[in-house]
A and B are shown apart, each in its own frame.
Chain A
């Protein structure tokens, strides 16, 4: 068990993307300068997260009390190995998205908004990973969603604008439910801090039913964000009609934030609430997400739609681990979502490259892209292997780890469903890859559709993401170690309140606080 240390540098991981966004706004008229500046600042953000992870060493977590207020009043931000890894990866994916955006064609006014909005999006995502209380999690979600609405509408096709309505509506309703749930939690417990909430069920003898209701509402909200089974309907319609550039970053980050919130909040706080049959709900959602994701991925005709369902199935695997609710299971879920960020962003970027090159990513209208884009096809091969979880990749480690934890917990039928779903996804991914890059259905590939930009930058972005996949695979032992410590941290703040609430040792103005 690591110790809790105070380190105010952790807010850098939120401030740097904000600076990136502001600099992006200022340099909006100089397209190249803007991209370079924003990418540079985001790279600094990823580097600072990595540096903090190194600084963390054997300690459990860094906390910062915002404004240096003493613990019960201050807003707490917490940086543990799990959130650190996710922050570093998210910032890297922001850079990949900007690289992909360089090949985009369209109105130069609209193109100039990509970099600032990606900056704000990364800020919201990083803040969601870092925050230590429920209401700030809501605020982080809103920062993230607001920039995602802008990204979904920027340079969108008419079809994309239609679908953006669905995306907006669904997320706004989920946000309203989130605020209400946060208010209810505060009304019942008098606190919103995760660590403080985690001990609530143990502290009180009788949990009011409102607490269970608030828990159910939070499950609803996070399941909506993570696109889990009954609430996944909006994702396949919206993500594949969005501008090709941003599909990857949406798929890679937004659903992961929902799943991260699920890991952080749901089992630690609401596990033992009698009025809420949490285990059964999570099991059902996880099993159905896996199977529905796998089956639908087999049946849909466009590259990015296939990837939407692959994403939903992956979220099901992560939720399976959340429902088990041990430190090792959280670690496995964290490992899955961390390595899957690169895979899913890469697969979406392959779809974006197809759109840029051939005008469509409909598998019935493209074929033999291998001849025209050999480099992209090799990158896609690596990503398909990684997405299907074939042995040398980190995805295999993740799946094996999940299966091991599942068997350990005795959840045999979910383990069985997961194996079936993984098989279905392997078939679906190979089928999509074969149809696009070899010849499966389409006899005469269509070239009538106007090209929408150069595929070169999308391929470059894809190469960066493949590099991410390779690095996570090579360094998966390191990552597994970090995740194990992250999982322990979640379970620790779960039982040990003092960890986050250590008062600041000495304030800068020299005021002493009673010990």
Chain B
């Protein structure tokens, strides 16, 4: 499962890097959106088998018996909690997804405003006006 996820992350990340490097802002923005998905998949892959500090596999840190002293629970519950997946990476991913929604909205607005103002989204036409034109770019 982790290997499959790792391949997915690699592919998605490669696509996003390719898009970010393009000379057109719309594609670069798409690359950024895809990058956030790659990152979320990456966190999911990392959370697959958290390695404990001592080396043994860890169950969910919130519910496992290792933390019993903090929140007292019934023995029966402890047995059941071994079946739970660690919820924290999922909380991280959810937060990251919400944030990337907002970022997507901001970036799209930025693209619209840029296009309205500059009339183009080609990166070479958007360089600072106080810089000399680089050679080889007609």
Contact = CB atoms under 8 A, between A and B. Distances in A.
Partners in one complex: yes
Interface of A: 70-73, 135, 138-139, 142, 146, 149-150, 153, 158-159, 161-165, 168-169, 172-173, 175-177, 179-180, 182-184, 186-191, 200, 203-204, 208, 210, 237, 241, 301-302, 503, 513-514
Nearest to B17: A173
B110 A164 contact: yes
Contacts of B40: 179
Nearest to A166: B126
Contacts of A146: 102-103, 106
Contact of A187 (B35, B50, B103, B118): B50
Contact of B114 (A73, A161, A183): A161
Contact of B128 (A163, A168, A208): A163
A169 B31 CA distance: 10
A182 B58 contact: no
B126 A165 contact: yes
A73 B53 contact: no
A175 B129 CA distance: 28
Contacts of B72: 514
A10 to B, nearest CB: 22
**Chain B CB within 10 A, most for which of A146, A153, A169:** A169
Contacts of B129: 159
Contacts of A237: 128
Contact of B117 (A158, A175, A176, A190): A158
B47 interface: yes
A208 B107 contact: no
Contacts of B126: 162, 165
Q: Chain B's interface: helix, strand, loop or mixed, by majority?
A: helix
B46 A184 contact: yes
A140 B25 CA distance: 27
Nearest to A142: B99
Given A149-B106, A159-B128, A72 B67 contact: yes
Given A161-B113, A190-B53, A208-B51, A183 B43 contact: yes
A168 B92 contact: no
Given A159-B128, A161-B110, A183-B43, 6 more contacts: A146-B102, A172-B32, A176-B39, A179-B39, A183-B47, A190-B52
B88 interface: yes
A169 B28 contact: yes
Given A153-B110, A183-B89, A190-B52, A176 B36 contact: yes
Q: Chain A's interface: helix, strand, loop or mixed, by majority?
A: helix
B43 A165 contact: no
A137 to B, nearest CB: 12
B35 A173 contact: yes
23 contacts: A72-B61, A72-B67, A135-B95, A146-B106, A149-B106, A149-B110, A153-B109, A162-B118, A163-B128, A164-B114, A165-B111, A168-B106, A173-B20, A173-B35, A179-B39, A183-B39, A187-B46, A187-B48, A187-B50, A188-B46, A190-B58, A208-B51, A513-B70
Interface in B33-49: 35-36, 38-40, 42-43, 46-48
A203 B70 contact: no
A68 to B, nearest CB: 13
Given A70-B70, A149-B110, A176-B36, A241 B128 contact: yes
A351 to B, nearest CB: 15
B69 interface: yes
Contacts of A73: 62, 67, 70-71
Given A165-B126, A172-B32, A180-B42, A186 B106 contact: no
Contacts of A188: 46, 50-51
A177 B96 CA distance: 12
Nearest to A73: B62
A190 B61 contact: yes
Contacts of B53: 189-190, 200, 203-204
A173 B72 CA distance: 42
**Chain B CB within 10 A, most for which of A173, A179, A301:** A179
Interface string B68-82: 011110000000000
